[in-house]
Amino acid sequence: MPAKPTAANKGGAAHFNHVGRIGNIVRRMGAQSVIVSQTVAARFGLNTTDLEGLDLIQLQGQVTTGQLAAATGLTSGAVTALIDRLVRAGYVERFDDPADRRRVLVRIRGGSIVEIAKVYAPMQKRMFALWSQYSADELTVIEDFLTRSLALSVECVADLRERS
């Protein structure tokens, strides 16, 4: 369990309580994200790591095994196995890097994730409708919060891996 936030000189107890509530909501969002991934992955006969790896590849457009290992924290062997499973399932393909023939890149096979995207589409539509209710200024703050929280989370995971 994470520690409670320390009282900052930004508003006393009310600020402390607000930061704590946000921490709890972020934790619940993380847990809900895992549940969504597990539910969708099961529908397609994938494990959660494979689905999330597929999403990371889709977000990047193309990746090397090393980039996917860095993004997931998996060993190079585990990433190779993940990519092998996604290749066998028909979701991704390997191809030679045109800039460096020694390197192999991985990308989504054209049309291969259409059915997965269909599952996410209704949820995405509802989320975009919700987010669209915020003003540009509010969205700027939300984007900053999420970007900085994500970067800090990546840093914390790296720290945890170094200590283990």
Alpha carbon 88 to its chain's center: 23
Residue range(s) defining the domain that contains residue 25: 1-43
Residue 1: per-residue pLDDT: 55
Contact 58, 43 (CB under 8 A): no
Domain-located, residue 92 = yes
Residue 118 region by backbone torsions, left for phi larger than 0, else alpha for psi between -120 and 50, else beta: alpha
Domain-located, residue 26 = yes
Indicate the number of domains in the chain: 2
Domain-located, residue 75 = yes
Residue 28: per-residue pLDDT: 97
Phi, psi for residue 3 in degrees, rounded to 5: -70, 155
One domain, residues 34 and 55: no
Residue 8: per-residue pLDDT: 47
Per-residue pLDDT of the chain (164 residues; tens, 9 = 90+): 555 555 445 678 999 999 999 999 999 999 999 999 999 999 999 999 999 999 999 999 999 998 998 888 888 899 999 999 999 999 999 999 888 888 999 999 999 999 999 999 999 999 999 999 999 999 999 999 999 999 998 888 888 888 87
Residue 160: per-residue pLDDT: 86
One domain, residues 2 and 50: no
Please tell me the pTM assigned to this model.
0.84
